């Protein structure tokens, strides 16, 4: 559900998916988590990019599950749990940086983490995870070798945690590309992103996209519907739209749609975008200007 459900409406999507049996929901930040809760979602909500100072009471008030990616966050969350938590201990998930080099403790910091966690009487480790950087790449390149290397580092860190007497809880690694093409990474839980909304991510080599689409057929969950608010005949050799980026090569019938920037239609779609008109795909030679606004109908 992160990024407002990739623009689809995080709270609304979460509410619908909960009815279909989704076990967990992942959001970007505390604010998104609260919005999901206010929509009536009762299932666990994981705050994937952790929290900033001062958000701890809001996390606990709304029963959100934080992610920790630095050892020093343990003491901060433990103090908040001691003061604000209704249910103790407070569960959290630990992110391990297995090679993406963004967020997460390094595998070398596992011993330090375990030592700090032992001092936190109000916290409980509920899950451990990592994030793949190149799970859609299968070439013999640096990126192509990265996913197996990340798996190796992650599971080594996990084994070290277990040897230190710590139950890792729920283990999760797989993102969209890994869900579609690397079943060995599924572990206890998977985290669908783009595939959840009907889109396969990129693959390298590109032929793998067709294979993945056969194995996991997807259908986009949202369409943007608008109205044609004007039809006009324009002579040949006339400019249409801003900067006259389209010049009519023949007498043409030009349609203006009641949709634009505010609806996510970017100017880069000029002379490239296509539309369905009553179910028929407009020819590539047809052009539309998507910057006029009016009545519109957005349907999921």
Catalytically annotated residues? 2, 242
The residue ranges of DSSP E strands in the chain, in sequence order, are: 25-27, 45-47, 65-68, 90-95, 123-129, 170-172, 223-226, 228-234, 239-240, 246-247, 252-257, 276-277, 280-281, 288-289, 296-299
> How do 296-299 and 223-226 pair as beta strands?
antiparallel
DSSP string, 23-78: --EEESSHHHHHHHHHTT--S-EEETT---TT-HHHHHHTT-EEEE-STTHHHHHH
Q: Give the separation between CA 30 and CA 292, rounded to whole angstroms.
A: 36
């Amino acid at each position: 559900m992160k990024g407002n459900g990739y623009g689809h409406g995080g709270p609304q999507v979460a509410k619908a998916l909960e009815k279909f049996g989704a076990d967990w929901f992942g959001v970007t930040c505390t604010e998104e988590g609260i919005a999901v809760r206010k929509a009536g979602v009762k299932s666990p909500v994981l705050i994937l990019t952790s929290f900033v100072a001062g958000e701890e009471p809001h996390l606990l008030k709304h029963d959100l599950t934080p992610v920790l990616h630095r050892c020093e966050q343990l003491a901060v969350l433990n103090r908040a749990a001691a003061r604000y938590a209704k249910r103790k201990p407070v569960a959290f998930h630990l992110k391990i940086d297995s090679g993406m080099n963004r967020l997460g403790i390094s595998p070398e910091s596992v011993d330090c983490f375990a030592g700090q966690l032992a001092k936190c009487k109000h916290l409980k480790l509920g899950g451990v995870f990592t994030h793949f950087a190149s799970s859609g790449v299968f070439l013999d390149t640096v990126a192509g070798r990265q996913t197996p290397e990340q798996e190796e580092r992650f599971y080594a860190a996990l084994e070290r945690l277990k040897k230190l007497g710590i139950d890792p809880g729920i283990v999760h690694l797989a993102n969209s590309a890994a869900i579609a093409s690397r079943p060995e990474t599924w572990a206890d839980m998977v985290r669908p992103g783009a595939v959840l909304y009907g889109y396969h991510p990129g693959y390298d080599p590109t032929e793998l996209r067709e294979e993945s689409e056969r194995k996991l057929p997807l259908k986009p969950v949202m369409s943007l519907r608008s109205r044609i608010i004007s039809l006009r005949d324009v002579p040949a050799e006339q400019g249409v739209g801003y900067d006259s980026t389209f010049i009519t090569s023949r007498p043409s019938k030009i349609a203006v749609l009641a949709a634009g920037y505010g609806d996510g239609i970017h100017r880069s779609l000029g002379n490239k975008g296509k539309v369905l008109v009553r179910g028929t795909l407009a020819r590539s030679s047809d052009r539309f200007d998507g910057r006029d606004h009016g009545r519109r109908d957005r349907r999921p």
